Structure 1
Amino acid sequence: MFGVSDIPKFFLAFFLVLPVISFLHEAGHVFFAWLMGGKNIKVTVGSGDVVFRWGMLEVRQYYFWYGQCTFDNLRRNHRLANVLIFIGGSLFNAVAAVAVVYLIETNVLEPGMLTYQFTYFSLYYIFFALLPTPYPDGSSSDGKVILELLRNKERALEKIYRVQWNEEEAQWRVLDHSRNLVESFADETQAFEKAREEAQRNRPSRLVSSGVGREVEIENYPRIPL
């Protein structure tokens, strides 16, 4: 039975244990993103206003709720690489939970409320991360993205945005993934800024410079693991 004496334990789990589990989850995404050559890696823990930033870590006001990992320009940007990145969070949670159980079994750690909460909420976190479901804001769970990648669904594939010089108009053209014109610019720098903005807003995507008979990738923007 849940009694008054259990309320402090609830707050302990909510304000201490869950943020640690969330950080481990994001660390798993970061590890595989780094392994696949990702750049501009950033980890956000919590939601609301930013409290502080330290290196790649950003902690927000409600540090116990939500988290995400962002990165750009994967050097190994293939399907298996993305699967590993999205499953990495749950893998880190699973390894941490198994490690705690092992340390208890070998009498290195004493079983108690903290260890129980840690293993319980780690499994809770893994379950909901891997549950293949869409979210109301239009994003998807890690599990749903992994499933789409394994099925090779078109919506899991990258959209390609192009910056192309148009000789007749003497302008730089930004084209979307359907090769429709987004906007034209006289200045190349402005064209690439607009293309980056579009590509970042419509992840997963690639930004390429499109010339005669060849295309060169400038940047890529993978989906964001939660």
Structure 2
Amino acid sequence: MFGWQDIPKFVLAFFLVLPVISFLHEVGHVFFAWLMGGKNIKLTVGSGDVLFRLGLLEVRKYYFWYGHCSFDSLIRNQRLANIFIFSGGVLFNALTAVLVMYLVQAGTVEAGMLTYQFTYFSMYYIFFAVLPMPYPDGSYSDGKVILDLIRNKPHLADTVYRITWSEDKRQWQVLDANKIVMETLKEESTAIERAQQIAKSNRPSRVIQSKEGQEMEIGNYPKVPL
């Protein structure tokens, strides 16, 4: 039964152990994103206003709640690369939990409340990350995304945005997935920047530029793992 004496343990687990486990989970995603050639990688811990940024790490006010990583422009096979990336968080949680259990068994680390909480909540984290389910905010668990990628579900297909030059209007156009004009802009650089903004807001997506009869990908924005 939960009693008053358990409150300090709960506080320790919620404000220290769980954030560490969440951080390790995101490090797993980041590692595979880097391995698969991802660019502009960012690891976010917590939610709310940003407290500080250090390199690719961003720590937010409520550091103990939520976390995700983002990245752009994978250079490897995207479907296989995303399977590895979305598996990375669970893999790192599992490896660190097994490491802690091994160290306890070997007598290198003394068994205690911290080691128990770390392994317990690591398994908790793994279970809910692997369970293939949608979340209330409309996003999916890692397991759901991995399953859909394996089954090649169409809703995970990239949305393609295009940048083309209109000879009639003498302006650059940003086209949606149905090649309908979304915006018309005078400068090429402005059109590219605007297309990238739209693509980042509608992941997974790609930006293709049509120029002199050739199509060239200038950016791809995979689905963000949690």
Would the TM-score normalized by the shorter structure come out above 0.5? yes
- Which is further off, 68-77 or 58-67? 68-77
Superposed displacement of residue 214, structure 1: 2.7
Q: 1:61-80 to 2 correspondence within 5 Å?
A: 61-80=61-80
Mark the runs of 5 or more structure 1 residues left unpaired by the alignment. none
2:182 alignment counterpart: 182
Rounded to whole Å, the distance in 2 between the matches of 1:61 and 1:185 is 38
Rounded to whole Å, the distance in 1 between the matches of 2:183 and 2:50 is 34
Rounded to whole Å, the distance in 1 between the matches of 2:66 and 2:158 is 26
Superposed displacement of residue 123, structure 1: 0.6
Superposed displacement of residue 213, structure 1: 4.2
Superposed displacement of residue 135, structure 1: 1.9
Q: Which runs of 4+ in 1 moved over 4 A?
A: none
Matched, 1:120 2:120: yes
1:24 alignment counterpart: 24
2:81 alignment counterpart: 81
Superposed displacement of residue 52, structure 1: 1.1
2:195 alignment counterpart: 195
Q: 1:147-166 to 2 correspondence within 5 Å?
A: 147-166=147-166
1:106 alignment counterpart: 106
2:47 alignment counterpart: 47
Mark the runs of 5 or more structure 2 residues left unpaired by the alignment. none
Partner AA of 1:119 in structure 2: T
Instruction: For residue 225 of structure 2, give the secondary structure of its aligned residue in structure 1.
Output: coil
Partner AA of 1:4 in structure 2: W
How many residue pairs align between the two structures? 226
Instruction: For residue 45 of structure 1, give the secondary structure of its aligned residue in structure 2.
Output: strand
Give the percent of matched residue pairs that are identical in Structure 1 and Structure 2: 65
1:170 alignment counterpart: 170
Partner AA of 1:11 in structure 2: V
Rounded to whole Å, the distance in 2 between the matches of 1:56 and 1:197 is 20
1:58 alignment counterpart: 58
Q: 1:92-103 to 2 correspondence within 5 Å?
A: 92-103=92-103
RMSD: 1.1
Instruction: For residue 132 of structure 2, give the secondary structure of its aligned residue in structure 1.
Output: coil
Partner AA of 2:142 in structure 1: D
